[in-house]
Structure 1
Amino acid sequence: MSVIAHLRVPAMSFELGQILDVSEGRSIVLEDLVPLGEQAVPFFTIHGTEESEAFRAAVQNHPTVKDIQAVSSHEDRTLFALDWDVSQDRLFEGIEATNAHLLGATGGPNTWEFELRFRSHGALSDFKEYCSEAGISLEVARIYNPTRPESGPFYGLTQRQRDTLVRAVRKGYYSLPREISTQDLADEFDISDQAVTERLRRAIVALVDNSLVAAMEGQEEPGSPEP
């Protein structure tokens, strides 16, 4: 049975936290992590009055960064796309090794908070052991099982996933013919259309995993043969 863990990690203890170094009063929200072969391109938003050009130049100079591009800006927020060598990041290596799903991440000057879904408590323990051996300091803030009634009505979806999926349904994204495009949704949330597509995909996977799949697993009897 899957579990969701809220974790706190010092910014300087993993590669991406060192790359995305922000000053006091600023924060970073990792919008989506889009696989691209052996690389990973994250979209992230800086909140605050960070000088975007100075920040971009500092990130670009990091040895594991191939490119960083400002996608859009709105008031005190700037959306970036980062192309960096994820293989050098031990934290993300551990996430991949334990087949965990990244539901959300928020970073500040000193600490990042992650929301990860693991297939089981055992997988979470494996991840904690991995981080300990890799020298990554990890604080577990909260653990809950999204299939339990007390976990709430949202089936493990993050706030952004819920908002995007609800908006897509209400605006007719799944209607025939389609009444709104991914680009229209992207404009409403001030992110890229690729980020919208990935966010919807993650939302649907989480919703099905924690509702239909969980219900079907609950009906199965231990040891019963496959039909």
Structure 2
Amino acid sequence: MSLIAEFSLRSPDLVLASALDAAPDVTVELEQQMATEFDAPVFIFWAFGGDFERLEAGLDSDETVSEYTVIEELGDRKLYRARLDCEEICAIYPIYQKLGASPMAATGSADGWQRRVRFPDRDSVVKMRQFCADNDVDFRLNRLYTPGDSELEDKFGLSAEQRKALVTAERVGYFDVPREVALAELGEELDISGQSASERIRRGVSELVSNTLLSDFKRRK
């Protein structure tokens, strides 16, 4: 039986790593990745939530990106098409193909990449973890579940931790303008660090956007 794994990846050698470091408030969401045996991979992604000028300055200097263009703007979101430099990337996509895994969702930020991937079995998840260890990529498994497990699935794609973080953030005034509490205080409410609270909020907001505001758009496409 297949398994769905949700995990984070961190490494300065991952695609867009330095560009996202240059724009720490930006979140990117992978729309499509294309690769052939002869051409450099193409990465199509949405960006939102931060300073696009800083992101684009980061893309200009990011060694994993050979060129990029903006192909669409929708309100406070931009859709980018980037051609990647294979020699400068720790390539993750080929290992998915080798293991027979199917990527389902990917979001990136200065905190790293959050991935949801369907693996054919538990052994392939172990091999994925080992590949990351062998290539100095920090791999952290957040959830592992079978498709259709109603106790673990959320209708908006949120994990229990993400849902709790978002609900708590709203309750204590983190989303108010101006904010009523800082990240460190929110972390105390959740009994985690401020950085961990930030990661959960980012991932949760990205899941909500992807599974609500973007769901109709993706169906139309």
Secondary structure of the 1:146 match is: coil
Correspondence for 2:45: 44
CA distance in 1, matches of 2:126, 2:216: 33
Q: CA deviation at 1:11?
A: 5.0
Question: Which residues in structure 2 correspond to 1:117-128 (within 5 Å)?
Answer: 117-128=118-129
- How many pairs align? 168
What's the CA shift for 1:162?
9.0
1:102 maps to 103
Residue of structure 1 in register with 2:115 after alignment: 114
Q: Residue by residue, what CA displacement relative to the aligned partner does 1:163-192 show, whole Å, maximum 9, x if unpaired? A: 8787787xxxxxxxxxxxxxxx3xxxxxxx
Contact 2:28–2:48 (Cα < 8 Å) also in 1: yes
Matches within 5 A, 1:171-210: 185=220, 196=221
Deviates more, 1:39-48 or 1:92-101: 92-101
The aligned runs of 1:134-173 (5 Å cut-off) are: 134-148=135-149, 150=151, 152=153, 160=210
The one-letter code matched in structure 2 to 1:6 is E
Q: Is 1:78 aligned with 2:78?
A: yes
Deviations along 1:35-84, one digit per CA (max 9) or x if unpaired, are: 344532121111124134x5324313333422100011122211101110
Q: TM-score, normalised by structure 2?
A: 0.62
**Alignment partners' CA distance in 1, 2:35 and 2:128:** 20
Identity %: 19
Q: Which residue of 1 aligns with 2:8?
A: 8
2:4 and 2:117 in contact (8 A); partners too: yes
Q: Identify unmatched segments of 5+ residues in structure 1.
A: 170-184, 186-195, 197-227
Q: How many Å apart are 1:133 and its aligned residue?
A: 1.1
Q: 1 CA distance for matches of 2:66 and 2:139? A: 28
The alpha-carbon distance between structure 1 residues 21 and 45, as it changes in their structure 2 partners (threshold 3 A), is farther
Distance 1:167 1:131, change over 3 A: closer
Hey, what's the Cα distance between the residues in 1 that align with 2:154 and 2:112? 29
RMSD across aligned positions (CA): 3.1
Paired residues of 1:43 and 1:79 also in contact (CA < 8 A): yes
- Change in 2 beyond 3 A, CA 1:113/1:69: same
C-alpha contact (below 8 Å) 1:12/1:110 kept by paired residues? no
In 2, Cα distance between equivalents of 1:116 and 1:100: 7
Runs of 5+ unmatched residues, structure 2: 158-206
Change (3 A) 1:161 1:96: farther
Secondary structure at the counterpart of residue 62 of structure 2: coil
The TM-score with structure 1 as length reference comes to: 0.61
Q: Secondary structure at the match of 1:21?
A: helix
Amino acid at match of 1:41: V
